[in-house]
Amino acid sequence: MTQVPTIKNNSLALDNDYFQQAMKFQQIIMIYESAIKQIETKLDILNKECKVGHKRNPIETVKSRIKSPDSIAKKLAKKKLPATFDAMTEHLTDIAGVRVICPYISDIYNIRDILLKQPDITLVAEHDYIENPKESGYRSLHIVVETPVYLSKTVHKVKVEIQLRTIAMDFWASLEHELRYKNTQNVPDSVRRELYRVAETIAMTDKEMEEIALELQALD
């Protein structure tokens, strides 16, 4: 006769609790992924519409990501919040992120305005680092929006952070991020000044390229 294994130190209950927590986390991430997919679909439709109507795409590329469990835990700790699902969904606005790369600065604001006119998109927060760059020289338009995700029995209002940049802004930000996070030493002031100078040069180039594009459009 086969013996039934005994339960020691309540390990079976702990394993079951861990399984339930893992399943809940997986479901939450699925909801955030669904919200990203909705935003990406909206952006794709807007891009195609502009291509048909204005003969060019105002969006170059769209990238997306979900914060890793480790990043979520660190962000909660930084904000001195408990490591719970409720704290995560209520207080973190960048678990789901979408980055929109545009050819010109005017495209950034046009896409933002069109997107926010949609009835199922609610603006939660906005930070304009194009008009007001960060001290490092970083430029980008950040908006946090809320969009509903409909499941079979429930509806979830999900926050998604959208970053809108030009190609040049994204180039600078990507290299600056790599230099800053791969360098184990503090970045010297001389390097910071050089990065800021390059950011200013790129910003001026962005404006000049848009002016050239407008001149060419006037010739059509």
Side by side, the strands of the sheet bearing 96-102 are 61-66, 96-102, 155-166, 141-150, 122-128
| Nearest by Cα to 143 from 169, 168, 114 | 114
Catalytic: 161? Answer: yes
Sign of CA dihedral 71, 74, 79, 83: positive
> Contact at 8 Å (CB) between 116 and 177?
no
Catalytic residue chosen out of the listed positions 33, 40, 60, 161: 161
Provide the CB-side half-sphere exposure for 143 (13 A, CA): 17
Annotated catalytic residues are 161
